[in-house]
Structure 1
Amino acid sequence: MKIGVIGATGKLGKMITKTALEQGFDVTAIVRSPEKLANHHVPVLKRDILKITREDIQPFSAIINAFGASTGHEGQYIESTQHLLNVFKGVSTRLIVVGGSGSLYADKTDQKQLIELVPEGQLPPEILATGRAAAKAFKLIKDSQDVRWTSATPPTFFDVRGPFTGRYQLGTDYLIENVDGESYISYADFALAVVEELTNKQFIQKRFTAVGERH
């Protein structure tokens, strides 16, 4: 399967690219700055996310968007999501978008997103801004028409240095916890969950989340 990874130079994008290659996928890095690539042996499509076209995505079975907006530019999450939804409308290529944990719902009885439940002053302004932008971006995805989307949403503790265990538990729109009662997963295990969804196809036009263990 031929796939593209937007943001393959970022921490999660690198992990997804590595995992997809190990799983036997034909991977192309879609990046603005190819010189930052960790793996220089993959094909590269040099593109700013807002310049990606319908012609660009036609060769791919799926595109994984692991784009991360920089501090102070959180609105790029919303702008880039809307752009991609316009590009992917009416085509067969899947769009898998990595979202933010703030867009998850607390439980089935309260349909408020986690970011709406954060007490004033509890989070740094930049994290709050990112969470709000991610929540708005998810709403755009959920309300989109004629797009083969999947939203992959990490839990609240997303551990870049955590171990790879090769195991994870899947959920849908709601916050879930591991056996230790933590909303936790490592980047490595989450990357595996995202890549395996390419084959499993359990969540087309749906959202999934995943938790893992620390050991």
Structure 2
Amino acid sequence: MARIVVIGGTGYAGGNIVAEAASRGHDVVSVARKPPQVPVDGVTYVTGSVLDLPSLAPVLDGADVVVSAIAPRGDMTDLGVDAVQGLADALTGTGTRLAVVGGAMGSLSEAGGPRLYDLGVPEEYRHEATVGVETLDVLTASDEGLDWFLVHPPLVFGAWEPGERTGAYRTGGAVVVKDADGNSYISGPDFALALVDEIETPAHRRDRFTVGY
């Protein structure tokens, strides 16, 4: 059993990760600025902000894994990259692994090919896509004393297409995952399944990977 702290644990990705990890018997702590609408049994909920890491030090201390499920929206619009940088700095050399929910646009379009980001992003999504790309840059440039992994969701992933838990997913290395019809999607519960599987059975150290159906 691992002690897993999920930053942004009441959001879409974070809430699914919290539920999946708790269902497997892990000691789960959710950190968010607002309480959940429907608490998950057995989860410890802490009110706090990643922008005030000193106040979260007692929560982060002793964690096996800290998950960053921060959405660069609202008052976090321009602070997402700084938040991950702060977590990376705080966890370097501690032995705590940092798991990050990334963005789809940082995935490669094909093996050896350009990133989806470089093929063009609609203006209304450009800021969030840029945050995702820069977040990966922060992790890649981090000190070797930080053990991290980042998971790229597929193109369609969010509360507007929540889906259900199927218990299945595929990984694609650095390449965006699409099905035989060209669809790129995963439900929230199955994304969480993939991330918690990586926590339990590490296969990507200081690396990223994509998931989808």
Does TM, normalized by the shorter one, top 0.5? Answer: yes
1:142-184 Cα distance to aligned partner (Å, 9 max, x none): 1111211010110111153212210001122122212433221
In structure 2, the gaps of 5 or more residues are none
Offset of 1:36 from its aligned partner? Answer: 3.4
Query: Aligned-residue CA RMSD in angstroms?
Result: 1.8
Question: How far apart, in 1, do the equivalents of 2:18 and 2:65 lie?
Answer: 13
TM-score, normalised to structure 1, is 0.88
1:93 aligns with 2:92: no
Query: Per the alignment, in what secondary structure is the counterpart of residue 163 of structure 2?
Result: coil
Alpha-carbon deviations, 1:114-136, whole Å to 9, x = none?
112116xxx242x1110011101
2:116 to 98, 102, 114: 114
Given candidates 67, 73, 77, the residue that maps to 1:74 is 77
1:26 aligned partner, one-letter code: D
Instruction: Output the CA distance in 1 between the equivalents of 2:10 and 2:176.
Output: 28
Tell me which residue corresponds to 1:134.
132
2:55 matches 1:43: no
What is the identity, as a one-letter code, of the residue corresponding to 2:150?
A: S
Q: Which has the higher strand share?
A: 1
In the other structure, the counterpart of 2:7 is: 6
Structure 1 residue 109 displacement after superposition: 2.9
Aligned to 1:209: 210
Q: Number of aligned residue pairs: give it.
A: 206
Distance change in 2, residues 1:187/1:40 (3 Å) = closer
Structure 1 residues 181 and 40, CA gap change in structure 2 (3 angstroms): closer
Report the Cα distance in structure 2 between the residues aligned to 1:38 and 1:79, rounded to whole angstroms. Answer: 29
- The 2-side partners of 1:62 and 1:30 are apart by 13
**Structure 1 SS opposite 2:175:** coil
* Corresponding position of 1:103: 106
CA–CA distance in structure 1, aligned partners of residues 158 and 96 of structure 2: 30
2:181 and 2:24 mapped to 1: Cα distance?
Answer: 29
Q: Whole-Å Cα distance in 2 between the matches of residues 47 and 104 of structure 1? A: 31
Q: Between the two proteins, what is the percent identity of the paired residues?
A: 26
Residues 13-28 of structure 1: pairs in structure 2 closer than 5 A: 13-28=14-29
Structure 1 position 73, deviation (Å):
4.7
The DSSP-based 3-state class of the residue aligned with 1:80 is helix
Q: Indicate the larger mover: 43-52 or 192-201.
A: 43-52
Distance change in 2, residues 1:23/1:60 (3 Å): same
Give the Cα–Cα distance (whole angstroms) in 2 for the partners of residues 60 and 180 of structure 1.
41
**Aligned AA (1:141):** L
Structure 1: gaps (5+ residues) = none
